[in-house]
Structure 1
Amino acid sequence: MTVATVLVALKIWASWRTGSSAMLGSLADSALDLVASLTTFFGVWIAAFPADRDHRFGHGKAEAVAAMVQVMLIGVSIVLILLHSVRQLNEGARVAAPAEGIAVSLVAIALTVGLLAWQRYVLRRTGSVAIRTDHVHYQSDMLLNLAVIAALVLDGVAGVVGADPVFGFLIAGWLGYGAFRAAGEAVDQLMDREWPEERRQRLVELVATYPELSNLHDLRTRISGTTNFAQFHIDMDPHLTVAEAHDVIERVERELSGQLPDTELFIHIDPLGYKDTQNPLVEENEFTRLGRGAR
């Protein structure tokens, strides 16, 4: 938020001095960065709340909501950039004071490099989808600021007519591409998309190491914020008492949680040979897919 505030102030001045479409686009992007960072802050803050009576699975999806708000804000900035670029192209307006605009863009690049390094560190520690979306946005800022410099040099120094609005169009297109990519993971979380196949297979392989468990089926997985959820049915010896079966599952859940950090497991016990439903999606034996036979 601090970086975005500084950049907004600098780019307001630079836009006033240069009249550049590319610089105005960069200003709009930084202004929306500030709003997006505020949204990210509150999204991550709310997502960190523990589960409560009304949100038994926690508040992790607040991060995905924050990411979608950022995507919508990027869309607003794209429209503003395109409108200004079209007007500038029609009027044949030229940029002024290119040196001042270039200096502001260089400062913006330096600040953004520092911010991206910090965000990469945070992502390694948390895996936050909201921070990842913010990171994608600031990565695009690097190219955006380089594009602004190129536009100012071509239009204001080299005298290439129309270079600045053309770069405005290119910047808008790049932002649109970044928004499309950033929206994907947030939508996956909101729609409870299954884990990537390699992560699902890793869970099945770990469960397969327990000889007292068989026929892992109805495996369902999802991600909410930084927490992974997995639930599945497992067949066990029908002659075990409830207490004995409970003790086995408690041990399995405890040991699996140690190998799969930030994962909540829900394991349902079926007596060996029992069929819940004729739905093949539910009854599919994940151990068979591993090549472990009918176990």
Structure 2
Amino acid sequence: MTASALDAAHETTRRITALSVATAVLLIVMKAFALGASGSVSILASLADSALDLVASLATFFAVRWAAASPDEEHRYGHGKAEGLASLVQSGMVLASGVFIGWEALQRIFDPRPVTSGGWAVGVVLLSIAITAGLVWMQTQAMKKTGSLAVAGDRAHYAADLAANVVVLIGVVAGAFLRAPGLDAAAGLVVAVWLAWGAVSLLKDAAGHLLDRAAPDADRAAIVAAVGEDARITNVHQLRTRMAGQALMVQMHVDLDPDLSLKAAHDIVLEAEKRVLKAFPHADILIHADPRGAAEPHGGAFASARPTAPDKPVEAVAPEAPAARPGPWS
């Protein structure tokens, strides 16, 4: 990834995370007012979620700045894993929020309490929906530009809030205008289940990032295809990929004519790197050239690790569709 592209991506994540923190503060103030006026458990659920969103957004705010720090002597691959850590914190916060809201909702189901000042509560929820929808749209645009896992986690919070606020609106209307406070509590319980389900999905993504999960099949096939555009490269093997924040780390071995000069082999590999960078501007690439037909087995800690796919000539590799990720926030 070029320095200018990386700097632009980091600047985008810094701006959107600052906006996320400001939005969380605004939503907390609004919902606290609505809770004081109405006593709605649905509003309480939404307020608790927004409070934890603020904590998670603050974690993301600092994490993306840490992740943007340049590599140093102790972190030669940079600090991109900070985004995975932030996403892990976010998933824990959301899960805790779901447990708290679910407990409160169950208590209110067995001990219903009236919802008052429904007009104020409805107005606040509608305004919250509008503000949250605007933030989610901007986060989506930022994700398209950067691929940031931390921003994806933060967007997951607010996308869930957007859906949850609709449920909250139904609960407030039922409790205040239909005189059915039990429905208000039931709406809060729905929000709790939604949050817990989403937290598990987010936790899986964060864990995969921190445990160096490989890039999707379609991305790996695209990398091999880009390298194989040069007919002088007849085989790609020992391909390894992982994410470090917004950077895609790529390592591979390629087979070349053993009679090539070192300079010629270097030029071929350099052009292959450029083709991969064109397809994946956020990549850091390392290509090792092997003499075709005379390559020695490579040692090391993962020499005997089973590859994700058998070594193939480059022309035999076809792109595959990435697997779908089930979950309420996908």
TM-score, L = length of structure 1: 0.91
User: Are positions 1:269 and 2:299 aligned together?
Assistant: no
1:109 to 126, 129, 132: 129
Aligned to 1:168: 188
**Local SS of the residue matching 2:241:** strand
Aligned to 1:125: 145
Distance across 1 between alignment mates of 2:67 and 2:261: 39
Residue pairs, 1:29-68, within 5 angstroms: 29-68=49-88
- 1:289, CA displacement in angstroms? 7.2
User: Are positions 1:136 and 2:156 aligned together?
Assistant: yes
Unaligned runs of 5+ in 2: 1-20, 319-330
Maintained 8 Å contact 2:255/2:290: yes
**Local SS of the residue matching 2:288:** strand
Distance across 1 between alignment mates of 2:31 and 2:288: 57
- 1:270, CA displacement in angstroms? 1.8
User: Are positions 1:228 and 2:248 aligned together?
Assistant: yes
TM-score, L = length of structure 2: 0.82
- 1:92, CA displacement in angstroms? 2.6
Distance across 1 between alignment mates of 2:210 and 2:262: 36
1:216 to 219, 228, 236: 236
Tell me the alpha carbon deviations over residues 95-128 of structure 1, each in whole angstroms, 9 at most, x when there is no partner: 2222211111111112112212211221122111
The 10-residue stretch of structure 1 (44-53 or 66-75) with the greater mean CA deviation from structure 2: 44-53
- Quote the sequence identity (%): 34
- 1:129, CA displacement in angstroms? 1.1
Tell me the alpha carbon deviations over residues 180-239 of structure 1, each in whole angstroms, 9 at most, x when there is no partner: 222232222111111111111111111112222222111111112111111111122223
User: Are positions 1:287 and 2:307 aligned together?
Assistant: no
Distance across 1 between alignment mates of 2:26 and 2:280: 41
User: Are positions 1:248 and 2:274 aligned together?
Assistant: no
Aligned to 2:171: 151
Maintained 8 Å contact 2:27/2:50: yes
Q: What amino acid is aligned across from residue 276 of structure 1 in structure 2?
A: P
2:220 to 200, 212, 236: 200
Distance across 1 between alignment mates of 2:41 and 2:62: 32
The 10-residue stretch of structure 1 (203-212 or 273-282) with the greater mean CA deviation from structure 2: 273-282
Tell me the alpha carbon deviations over residues 41-70 of structure 1, each in whole angstroms, 9 at most, x when there is no partner: 111111111221111111111111111101
Maintained 8 Å contact 2:241/2:248: yes
Q: What amino acid is aligned across from residue 68 of structure 2 in structure 1?
A: A
Measured at CA, do residues 146 and 251 of structure 1 come closer, stay the same or move farther in structure 2, by a change above 3 Å? closer
Distance across 2 between alignment mates of 1:37 and 1:68: 12
Distance across 1 between alignment mates of 2:25 and 2:265: 58
Maintained 8 Å contact 1:19/1:96: yes
Maintained 8 Å contact 2:64/2:83: yes
Maintained 8 Å contact 1:102/1:148: no
Maintained 8 Å contact 2:38/2:116: yes
- 1:253, CA displacement in angstroms? 2.0
Residue pairs, 1:92-107, within 5 angstroms: 92-107=112-127
Aligned to 2:45: 25
- Of structures 1 and 2, the larger Rg is shown by 1
Q: CA RMSD in A?
A: 2.1
Measured at CA, do residues 280 and 38 of structure 1 come closer, stay the same or move farther in structure 2, by a change above 3 Å? closer
Maintained 8 Å contact 1:218/1:281: no
